[in-house]
Structures are given as C-alpha cells and as structure tokens.
Amino acid sequence: MLNRLFARIRKRPHEKERFSLEGNLPAHLAIIMDGNGRWANRRGLPRFAGHHAGMKRMRQVIRDCDELGIPCLTLYAFSTENWKRPQDEVEYLMRLPEEFFASEIDELVERGVRVRFIGDTSKLPQHTQDIVHRTLERTKDSNGMIVNFALNYGGRAEIVSAAKSFAREVAAGTATWDDLTEERFQQHLSTGSLPDPDLVIRTSGEMRLSNFLIWQAAYAEFWFTDVLWPDFTRDVLEQALREFQGRKRRFGGLK
C-alpha cells in the first residue's frame, strides 16, 4: 500500500516534465540513427546484432513520438553511401524492413501512422521494394503521424532528381525556367509538402549530416548525443526536446 503510494509520488515529477513538453514540439523531427556497429562491437557482437537492436529502438521511438504528439518523424535508415559497406551487411540491412514491418504493421495501422519512404527505393532489392509497396498500401488511408523512412536516401541525389524533375516540366512546356522558386523546387523534393525538419538529432557522437536532408535542414536545430542508437531511450528523446524548446530560432531575423 505504502509502496504504491510512494511509487505514485515518485512518478509525479516525471509526468509533469512530460506534460511540460506539450506545445512547441518540433512539427518535424528527423533522426540520424547512428552507432549500431559500435554498440555491437562494445559487446563483442557482430555488427548485424547492433542493427537488430537499433531496429527495436526505432519501434519504441515511433511510439514515443506518437504519444508525445510529434506530427512528422523522419528516420535515416540507409544512405546512398551505405552501399559501400560489405555485401553481407548491406544484405542484412535490406532484410530488416521485412522483419520490422511484419511485426509492426498492425500497430502502425492501429495508431493511424502514415508510412512514407524517401530515397530511391527503385534501386533496392526486389524483396525490399515489395515490403515498401505493401507498407505504403496498408497505411495509405491513415491520417495520424507521418513516419518517413529514408531508405537509399542521399540529399545530393535528391536535389539532382528534383532538378531533373523540374527540367522535365520545362521540356514539356508546362513551366519556364523563370517559374522556378525555392517553394516550387521544394515540391520536387521527396519530402514534397512536408514541413522542414525543426530538429535533427544524431546519435553516436558524430557531428555531421552525412548527406541527410541537406536542403530541408537549412534552418533546423541540431542536437547531438554520444548515446549510441540502440541505447536511445525516451529520456534521451525528452532531453533533446527540452533543449530544443529552449533554443532561440531567429531565421536570420532579430527575434
């Protein structure tokens, strides 16, 4: 009885803190999920074990963001440069979406999560493309949080592809070069009409973008942590969000 009472009292400040996160949350949170390999190395495990642990963490972070009321989450899962890794690691990473969505799709649908993919998914192995299509199909009528998986994503490739896409409009006579504005160009990016990320988190102590959302993150706030991705907990997420809330964003102006 007393124990239960103490447990409730102990819980209160934490709940309050969570409550205080309401309002001023990022409309779009983007995460560079880094450090899976090092997490495994430190445990004497093969790198794929780190990727598997990272996948489990991803599941939890989606739940956390949904509970916190973050409308849009982008997760960097595989970059256009990650093909340089050993073939067996790439193959393992390309199998993970199947395992992830097989276990998660029902919960995602139940939560009303709209799953999207950014990056050139046409270059993924057929079995990975199949799960991409099935997932899009299953979540196409959802109208809750948007979760973007960046798979074979590279910011430079995305910009080149947007430039080609606009050039095609010019060639077809539906636009002239003079019609090109930042807003119009942005529509050709894979993020389309999504808001720009307000906050970009990178784990594992690296402080670089590694070709992630290089156009969209022009005015993003950055938050770096030494925590390796498989160790990224709700508390770490909340710490990032609190720091974000304390930032003064000026967008070049004075306030």
* Residue 179 falls in the annotated catalytic set: no
Catalytic residue among 41, 82, 120, 231: 82
List all residues 6 or more positions away from 104 whose beta carbon is below 8 Å from its beta carbon.
59, 62
List all residues 6 or more positions away from 54 whose beta carbon is below 8 Å from its beta carbon.
33, 36, 39, 229, 230
Residue closer to ligand IPE, measured from CB, 77 or 146: 77
Residue closer to ligand IPE, measured from CB, 26 or 35: 35
| Residue 245, binding choice from Mg ion, ligand IPE, none, Cβ under 5 to 8 Å by partner class | none
Give the nearest distance from C-beta 112 to ligand IPE in angstroms: 26
Q: Are 142 and 112 in contact (CB under 8 A)?
A: yes
Q: Are 149 and 212 in contact (CB under 8 A)?
A: no
Chain centre to alpha carbon of residue 145: 12
34 binds Mg ion (CB under 5 A): yes
Catalytic residue among 34, 36, 148, 152: 34
32 binds Mg ion (CB under 5 A): no
33 binds Mg ion (CB under 5 A): no
* Residue 152 falls in the annotated catalytic set: no
93 binds ligand IPE (CB under 6 A): yes
48 binds ligand IPE (CB under 6 A): no
The CA distance from 31 to 245, in Å, is: 17
3-class secondary structure per residue, 181-246:
CHHHHHHCCCCCCCCCCCEEEECCCCCCCCCCCCCHHHHCEEEECCCCHHHCCHHHHHHHHHHHHC
Stretch that binds ligand IPE, among 7-15, 73-81, 126-134, 238-246 (CB under 6 A): 73-81
Give the interface with ligand IPE as residue ranges (CB under 6 A).
Answer: 32-38, 76-79, 82, 93, 204, 206, 208, 210
Give the interface with Mg ion as residue ranges (CB under 5 A).
Answer: 34
